[in-house]
Amino acid sequence: MNYQIILEEIYRDIQPFAKEGKQADYIPALARVNPDQFGMCLQTIEGEQFILQQADTRFSIQSISKVLSLALCLSIEGKKLWERVGKEPSGAAFNSLIQLELENGIPRNPFINAGNIVVADVLLSRLKNPEKKFIEFIRALCDDETIDYNLEVANSEREKSYLNAAIINLLKYHNNIENEIEEVLALYFKMCSVEMSCKQLAKAFLAFADHTRKFDYAGVYLTSSRVKRINSLMQTCGFYDEAGEFSFLVGLPGKSGVGGGIVAIHPKLYSVAVWSPRLNPKGNSIMGMKALELLTTKTEESIF
């Protein structure tokens, strides 16, 4: 498959959408990003790499980090995690407190905010220095020591985050948080603040696409079966209230972030990362969604 030609075609085809949507602006660091950027990187399991535009520009990976924190958490906690978090699609906006209240403080899945806050709580309970471990894990995935947190982002998220504070208090009320609220939120926001480029993200997620290799990075070890299950969760729950739409249009497991990034994987073939800050009303990158839809249409390679 000549992916480079396909990527070039995609880039041409998505131009009509270049000015649609608005970037996230709820914190200054996101608001001041130039919204008219676009990057893409596809990495095959054979080691080839195909890129478009600003594939080296780093951006805030935001909720994409939830896949990585889940992987770290599962490597430590295993199946027991599922006593505190569900595996079902949420069928409601990503931050809905309604389900959480009706379902007694068990978040629907680890990719909505409530669920990932529980993941952060587990990491705090089980690790001496979870922040350090998490960033080491990502650096190992990418084989790149320069990847790091953005403290300004983490701090300003924390200051503004009344909704997440509501969520964690409700979780604590239902005895689903073990640690101090402030500590858990601090870790949660820090993990979301990691900055990576499309190239780095594609590299990191190649580990989820290639089951022939051991998943063992910086001591974070996952069986092939567990990696598959993380992929399954991305498929059903990776796009908040638009998971069905993404699965329907793209046909690959993926995860989006409010910074405009999206990663997706085609098991046994490739991982792909795309980034463009303008979002649709559901919080997913417009050009990113379009680019991935065109990718599986043009290659005729979906998992279905």
Contacts with a copy of itself, residue ranges (CB under 8 A): 86-92, 96-99, 101-102, 108-109, 162-163, 165-167, 169-170, 172-173, 224-225, 227-229, 231-233, 235-237, 241-245, 247-249, 251, 253, 267, 297, 300, 302-304
Q: Least CB distance from residue 236 to a copy of itself, whole Å?
A: 5
- In the bound state with a copy of itself, the residue whose beta carbon lies nearer, of 29 and 243, is 243
- DSSP SS3 for 46: coil
- In the bound state with a copy of itself, the residue whose beta carbon lies nearer, of 146 and 224, is 224
Contact predicate 293/20, CB 8 Å: no
Q: What is the 3-state secondary structure (H, E, C) of 53-95?
A: ECCCCCEECHHHHHHHHHHHHHHHHHHHHHHCCCCCCCCCCCC
Across the strands, what pairs with 43? 49, 271
Rounded to whole angstroms, the Cα distance separating 220 from 139 reads 12
Q: Least CB distance from residue 271 to a copy of itself, whole Å?
A: 13
Q: Least CB distance from residue 181 to a copy of itself, whole Å?
A: 8
Q: Least CB distance from residue 173 to a copy of itself, whole Å?
A: 4
- In the bound state with a copy of itself, the residue whose beta carbon lies nearer, of 127 and 303, is 303
- In the bound state with a copy of itself, the residue whose beta carbon lies nearer, of 84 and 172, is 172
Q: Least CB distance from residue 61 to a copy of itself, whole Å?
A: 21
Q: Least CB distance from residue 129 to a copy of itself, whole Å?
A: 27
Contact predicate 72/137, CB 8 Å: yes
Rounded to whole angstroms, the Cα distance separating 288 from 5 reads 18
- In the bound state with a copy of itself, the residue whose beta carbon lies nearer, of 149 and 240, is 240
Contact predicate 184/51, CB 8 Å: no
Count of beta carbons in the 10 Å neighbourhood of residue 126: 13
- In the bound state with a copy of itself, the residue whose beta carbon lies nearer, of 219 and 244, is 244
- DSSP SS3 for 150: coil
Contact predicate 45/227, CB 8 Å: no
- In the bound state with a copy of itself, the residue whose beta carbon lies nearer, of 87 and 155, is 87
Rounded to whole angstroms, the Cα distance separating 239 from 264 reads 11
Q: Least CB distance from residue 250 to a copy of itself, whole Å?
A: 9
- DSSP SS3 for 216: strand
